[in-house]
A and B are shown apart, each in its own frame.
Chain A
């Protein structure tokens, strides 16, 4: 189904990431068309092993970081330079659930607009009420409780989004992503409010 890539040097198939050949350690050229999932050697799915992502990111940085190129050829240095930026970009896309959802939808041929609002009137009403109640809170304890609730709410939306992807229910994705954006903003606003209250 997906295209296979081979090492530029030893021709071995690249089964993991597209940065370095794990057989002969040669740096690979940049394939601009590949998704961040393929680039890191991950399956194109929403659920992701965060620890594995962190580990892979650091391992790849050790390979491509500009400070680690003392013993490379000029050509490889050029590859490394582009990889250094691309590794971070791909990592950031994979790590952020919203960007990750957007990248997955892109693979399905659907462009996700991140500016859209929640469509379901009931959910929208609920969210606005939550925002309103945060602005009325003034005690630290109350804001802390609100933060805990928001964290749970965000986790629930994440679950729903993950489920939509697992069930290939792509029509549900835009609404879930919008809800996640609102939930994240609420959580962030509450934490910001607490910080300003404390300091």
Chain B
């Protein structure tokens, strides 16, 4: 039975389900930004952050995490502990990182959070740090658009592996954003270039970001952007060029080490010298390690930069190799990423590919712009289509620790490939399916994505059982592996989640925490921390007084006792966080001299009592 729906014409129509705006985010190593491209024709793309570039830096200052410019300021003017370039840590394990970084940030591996590090005594993870940046961008977007935003296209280096991609998605979800697509950075740049210039043909994108390098070649034709080959390096970027300039300054001025301040100076020198007409350039930097004054000619830096450029160009050769004959048709190279501002680099790239280079006025913004266009496309607006590829081969471990590739790098997505394997022992009834990612021949040089066991194989002579393994990779790069034994039809299927990073349960827990409790949760956590700190301090002071009261004058003693009592009362009354923090400071200051006296007395006793054997 069907009823006609009767509507009161004067009543308002139910609101049409309107999708909230989908934004594009460039989550960069050194800076991040977001864009929105409205659906209507001819509407200009908008940059949602002011100033346009948000430094990808987090600092811990006055008991809270600061992001972007605020974080930079806290680090520079208050010496607050902070961290940048944490994108380089996404999806990494402890064993992949240099010792100095591990020590500087007290990095550890925890079972449910993956790699953890400390910033200002607070334990955090690269995922949480990235989530802080994303939250900051999300807020800027919501303020600017005056609408709720919950979905985003986020760009990642084309050469990011599965673990780093999953980590990026986790960060987005933690920030309250649904990552509807991770888009390769060079692809994003090509999309922005193609849609803005309406150029067609085969183009390369040379993308040198702060910390990552990618080269992709795309064919732009009739609104279809087809990635043909891509390669890259996840630890080669503009930062390395800064480092080279810092090395130069250190040697020239006989400095001992490279400090963050020296690096900042090096970066500004690099940027100034990117303007050709200004070489040689006099410089003067007022740094904590002293005044640096001198003159720098670009020719002095070229020998330091040349090896970095060479490295990037040899990666380009891999792409040219994969393209075979098509390499000759490249019409031009699109430069993306702030690192490509260096004229020397532009000349080398043009010479290497033997074609013109296209330099966008704001190479830092090109990628975010592309993310915005893709967000528009995925909202059902716009009529372009992006055909992306998988940057790294996927395969299985076979006999002797060898990697057998099933989906080769540069395969168009979505894709599905099947291969048949067999048993190597008589009567073998189970098979370990070990899924790996990478180009190398040996499993130990590839990245392990997951393992599962296919059991229930009928006991047959070696080589007789047939196991069909299917790899299906969707447009998001999500891999599903199915293994099926053909004689019995026993089958098993898993979705691959890399064994690095946070467990899904932990992510869920943290998202729920942040969603349900939000600000309140934060406040509670801080209060609990302050309470813990107060209790520790009170018991320490109490303990010290009971032992070394004699070191204090009557006046000092009564002041300390007064402040201690006040703090203990606050603990009992569960005082507000601000009051607790204040009293902790007061008592801390009063007992500072007392603590010093105790230390020097302890040293004296220790010395007079002679060497001890434990």
Contacts and interface: CB of A to CB of B under 8 A. Distances in A.
Interface of A: 58, 61-62, 65-68, 70-71, 84-85, 88-89, 191-192, 195, 198-199
Contacts of A70: 379-380
A65 B225 CA distance: 13
B222 A195 contact: no
Nearest to A198: B317
Contact of A62 (B224, B310, B324, B475): B224
A195 B415 contact: no
B224 A58 contact: yes
A65 B414 CA distance: 8
Contacts of A88: 412, 414-415
A61 B412 CA distance: 11
Given A85-B415, A85-B472, A199-B314, A67 B224 contact: no
A58 B412 CA distance: 12
A58 B416 contact: no
A65 B385 contact: yes
B377 interface: yes
Given A85-B416, A89-B416, A195-B318, A58 B386 contact: no
Given A61-B224, A66-B414, A85-B415, A192 B475 contact: no
A132 B591 CA distance: 82
Nearest to A68: B385
Interface string B366-380: 000000000001111
Contacts of B386: 67
Kindly list the 6 A-B residue pairs having the minimum CB-CB distance in the complex, ordered from nearest.
Answer: A199-B314, A70-B380, A85-B416, A58-B224, A199-B317, A66-B475
Interface string B199-239: 00000000000000000000001111010000000000000
Nearest to B475: A66
A70 B379 CA distance: 8
A66 B474 contact: yes
A192 to B, nearest CB: 7
Contacts of B472: 85
B221 A58 contact: yes
A58 B318 contact: no
A192 B224 CA distance: 31
A199 B320 CA distance: 12
A144 to B, nearest CB: 14
A195 to B, nearest CB: 5
A151 B321 CA distance: 14
A58 to B, nearest CB: 5
A66 B477 CA distance: 13
A195 B319 CA distance: 11
A77 B235 CA distance: 40
B387 interface: yes
Given A58-B387, A67-B378, 9 more contacts: A58-B222, A61-B387, A62-B223, A62-B385, A65-B385, A67-B475, A88-B412, A195-B317, A199-B317
B321 A191 contact: yes
B321 A195 contact: yes
Nearest to A191: B321
A66 B385 CA distance: 10
Interface string B450-483: 0000000000000000000000101100000000
A61 B385 contact: yes
A65 B387 CA distance: 8
A66 B416 CA distance: 14
A86 B399 CA distance: 31
A62 B321 CA distance: 28
Which secondary structure characterizes the binding site on chain B?
mixed
B532 to A, nearest CB: 50
Contacts of A58: 221-222, 224, 226, 387
Contacts of A192: 321
A88 B474 CA distance: 13
A95 B321 CA distance: 18
Interface string B297-333: 0000000000000100110011011001000000000
Contacts of A195: 317-318, 320-321
A191 B412 CA distance: 23
A68 B382 CA distance: 10
A136 to B, nearest CB: 22
Interface in B370-403: 377-380, 385-387
A195 B231 CA distance: 15
Choose among B314, B378, B387 the residue with the greatest number of A CB atoms under 10 Å from its CB: B387
Contacts of B324: 191
Nearest to A199: B314
A65 B324 CA distance: 26
A185 to B, nearest CB: 14
B42 to A, nearest CB: 21
A199 B321 CA distance: 12
A71 B380 contact: yes
A191 B321 CA distance: 7
Contacts of B474: 66
A71 B379 CA distance: 11
A199 B387 CA distance: 30
A62 B221 CA distance: 12
A85 B474 CA distance: 9
A199 B474 CA distance: 34
A62 B226 CA distance: 11
Contacts of B321: 191-192, 195
9 contacts: A61-B387, A67-B377, A71-B380, A88-B412, A192-B321, A195-B320, A199-B310, A199-B313, A199-B317
Nearest to A88: B412
A58 B379 CA distance: 21
Contacts of B415: 85, 88-89
Nearest to A84: B414
Contacts of A62: 223-224, 385
Nearest to A192: B321
A72 to B, nearest CB: 11
B321 to A, nearest CB: 5
Nearest to B377: A67
B539 to A, nearest CB: 61
A67 B385 contact: yes
A185 B165 CA distance: 34
Contacts of B223: 62
Contacts of A61: 224, 385, 387
Nearest to A86: B416
Contacts of A84: 414
A35 B380 CA distance: 33
A195 B310 CA distance: 13
Contacts of B226: 58
A199 B231 CA distance: 15
Contacts of B222: 58
Contacts of A85: 414-416, 472
A64 B320 CA distance: 29
B344 to A, nearest CB: 19
Contacts of B378: 67
B201 to A, nearest CB: 13
A152 to B, nearest CB: 13
A198 B318 CA distance: 11
Contacts of A71: 380
A178 B261 CA distance: 63
Contacts of B317: 195, 198-199
A66 B180 CA distance: 13
Contacts of B379: 70
A68 B377 CA distance: 9
